[in-house]
Amino acid sequence: MYSERDRGRSLNRMIRHRVQSMRRRLAGYLWLSDWPAMLGWAALAGMLAAFTTIAFHQGMYLIQSVVTGSSGSIVGVMTGLPWYGRLLIPALGGLVAGVLLWLAGRTRAGAHADYMEAVAIGDGRLSIRTGLLRSVSSLFTVVSGGSIGREGAMVHLGAMAASAIGRFSRFGMVRLRVLVACGAAAGVSAAYGAPIAGALFVGEIVLGTMAMQSFGPLLVAAASANIVMRLTGHYHTMYAMDALTQVTGIAVVPFVVLGVVTGLGAPLFLKFLDAFKGVFRRTGLALPWRLALGGLLLGSLLVFRPDVAGNGYSVVSSLLHDNWVWHAVLLVLALKLVATAITVGSGAVGGVFTPALFMGAAVGLLFGKLIFWLLPGMQTELYVYVLVGMGSFLGAATSAPLMALLMIFEMTLSYQIILPLMLACVVAHFVSRAVAEVAMYDVTVNRERDAQLHYRLRHTSIDELIRPANTVVTTHTPVKEALQMFVDYPVKYLYVVDENNVYQGVIAQQDLTSLMLGESDVHQKCAGDVLRMGFVRTLHPGMALDRAQEFFVQFEGERLPVVSRDEPSRLLGVVYKSSVLEKYSALKKSLDQDLRNVSFDEFRASRRRRVGKQKRKG
């Protein structure tokens, strides 16, 4: 008789066998992972992302009901609590969130914990256990009033679900990364009701490409998520506006100035958050206690102003529809900035997307009131400044102005706002890039630094790396002398020139060894009799460093000859592989140290000045 434990083990083995058999069959159907079939997988990823978003919302309401006895908006729930509830619940929520994050950090994961990293530089594999722990941690932070966006966990859950089905079906790395990107795009679509902006967000920020082969599945996934949200009754226009004022002519000029203001403000906002991260790290507290401390500090603010709790959605709606006096807007802006910095700085997991929208809304409203005071004849409504401020601030913070433009359009469903929004978003983006190399997501900064490094490599020549060639023989040099030179120098090749220093080719050490073993009269030959023409690729003066690096990748030796570009080509010297690597390392280190706060345009202008000075000296 089998025991109950034996029957359970047998059942588990049978289930694992059938699952593995199904995975093998799916992997055998190659057409399932072909690009046309990716649209179907993208649709599935979109539906899963929508359901995980709904589950996250329901989890919020459940925890709210259990802890406070009511559910709804974060601000509404916090307002209904007594003062000690507003103080203690954020601290307790931070402690629970910190413990979950600590457990996630101790989990041995063979895959990535961040979906951006998995898509941008990884293989698309996301850790399910780590992802769930981090998402539940974010859930407790949001429910307890943390001033952070809930979209971060929603997007990660969508990406994680997509990664799970891709790994189950044994997708290759390229298609798995695209499928995870589809899950992320669907998560943004489900969280904000903005399918086009969701696809653009992942295309611009995460994938870094808008090629239709990858962007097409993103659109399908985002659309599928939006359809599911509509069918289940969870879709709503976030900031529905009726009969928006058309902004044309001279009235668009203030919005260009607003773009400059938000372009200056967004980098300061991000640097302020980074500063608080450093402050909390210097406390030396363990992660759970650090988040608990952040929650306690946040709770002290909520005691007096509960409307700074949560991601700021309800306050933005109020800014759009209610009449605020300027000093009240300034106060809530300052308190929300501190609340967000405390939450993010303590190490809480979540998005900064929605808080950035809040910052832009408040800055836009203050700017609009200033315009009304300076130019009382302006007919543009204040809410237009609020919406344009949201879009331009978000575009500057994320370095994705097109995404921000379309997101505001989809969240309002108002075409009238497009013209001032376009101008403000583009201006804000370029201003923010000019004043600081900082962005909401590290992948954006890293991609820009890589672009600058490639620019330097393309425009740095090998001229300063050219060294004299010591192992040179003429075509009339006896082979005996060439053999002695191989003894004196630990090299694989000798360079052969004629009496006018015109480059002829190389003598390979292995060739002379073979000749000595096979021919008795080898010592009677000259270098010109045994040289090889075109056997070793040559470099040229003025050649870019990245081009020379490509030559060395395909070459096993340590050095390559440098010959003149004219005909016949003269031997000018050699470049060593180690010199190229050292120069590459120096450029990268210089970029990391010197260009931290320098824009690409400033770098290009400074390089033009250096080149001009060199030409004048020459």
Average the pLDDT over each of 129-133, 258-262, 434-438, 446-450 and give the range with the smallest value.
446-450
pTM exceeding 0.85 = no
Confidence of residue 268 (pLDDT cuts 50, 70, 90): very high
pLDDT exceeds 60 at position 32? no
> Which residue shows structure tokens 């289930």?
15
φ, ψ at 563 (rounded to 5°): -125, 155
CATH fold match for the domains 249-442 and 443-618: no
φ, ψ at 455 (rounded to 5°): -60, -45
How is residue 356 written in tokens? 């950035």
Taking Cα atoms as reference points, which of 382, 409, 399 lies closest to residue 203?
399
| Beta-sheet pairing, 559-563 with 503-508 | unpaired
State the average pLDDT over residues 482-495: 82
Helices and strands in the chain: count of H runs, count of E runs: 25, 5
Taking Cα atoms as reference points, which of 239, 240, 155, 167 lies closest to residue 199?
155
Query: Which CATH code for domain 20-231?
Result: 1.10.3080.10
Q: How far apart are CA 339 and CA 269, in angstroms?
A: 12
- Residue 16 pLDDT: 62
Confidence of residue 336 (pLDDT cuts 50, 70, 90): very high
CB-hemisphere CA count at 13 Å for 271? Answer: 12
> Which residue shows structure tokens 């998520």?
225
**Secondary structure (H, E, C), 144-210:** CCCCCECHHHHHHHHHHHHHHHHHHCCCCHHHHHHHHHHHHHHHHHHHHCCHHHHHHHHHHHHHCCC
pLDDT exceeds 60 at position 617? no
Taking Cα atoms as reference points, which of 470, 474, 546, 482 lies closest to residue 516?
482
Average the pLDDT over each of 372-381, 550-559, 609-618 and give the range with the smallest value.
609-618
Q: Could you tell me which residue, 444 or 315, shows the higher pLDDT?
A: 315
Burial of 256 (0-12, 13-18, 19+ CB in 10 A): middle
Q: Are 337 and 125 a contacting pair, CB within 8 Å? A: no
pLDDT exceeds 70 at position 279? yes
Looking at residue 35, its amino acid is W
Taking Cα atoms as reference points, which of 138, 130, 139 lies closest to residue 66?
139
Q: How far apart are CA 468 and CA 493, in angstroms?
A: 15
- Residue 55 pLDDT: 92
Q: Are 166 and 124 a contacting pair, CB within 8 Å? A: yes
Q: Which CATH class is domain 249-442?
A: mainly alpha
What is the SS3 assignment for 135?
A: helix
Confidence of residue 616 (pLDDT cuts 50, 70, 90): very low
- The full DSSP string for 209-266 is ---HHHHHHHHHHHHHHHHHHHHTT----TT--SSPPP--GGGGHHHHHHHHHHHHHH
The residues spanned by each domain of the chain are: 20-231, 249-442, 443-618
Helix (H) / strand (E) containing 495: strand 493-497
- Residue 606 pLDDT: 46
Q: Percent of the chain having pLDDT more than 70?
A: 83
Query: Which CATH code for domain 443-618?
Result: 3.10.580.10
Confidence of residue 12 (pLDDT cuts 50, 70, 90): low
Helix (H) / strand (E) containing 372: helix 353-374
pLDDT for 95-139, tens place per residue?
A: 999 999 998 888 766 666 777 777 766 777 888 888 889 989 999
φ, ψ at 269 (rounded to 5°): -60, -45
- Residue 30 pLDDT: 47
pLDDT exceeds 90 at position 415? no
- Residue 51 pLDDT: 94
- Residue 501 pLDDT: 87
CB-hemisphere CA count at 13 Å for 492? Answer: 10
State the average pLDDT over residues 353-378: 90
The DSSP symbol for 459 reads T
Report CA Rg, the chain.
Answer: 32
pLDDT exceeds 60 at position 44? yes
Mean pLDDT of the chain, nearest integer: 82
How is residue 4 written in tokens? 């109950």
Confidence of residue 591 (pLDDT cuts 50, 70, 90): low
- Residue 614 pLDDT: 45
pLDDT for 149-205, tens place per residue?
A: 888 888 889 988 888 888 877 777 778 888 888 999 999 999 888 899 989 888 877
The DSSP symbol for 45 reads H
- The full DSSP string for 272-337 is HHHHHHHHHHHT---HHHHHHHHHHHHHHHHTT-GGGSTTSHHHHHHHHHS---HHHHHHHHHHHH
Q: Is the dihedral of CA 156, 162, 165, 170 positive or negative?
A: negative
Q: Tell me how far CA of residue 614 lies from CA of 144, 607, 609, in angstroms.
A: 61, 11, 9
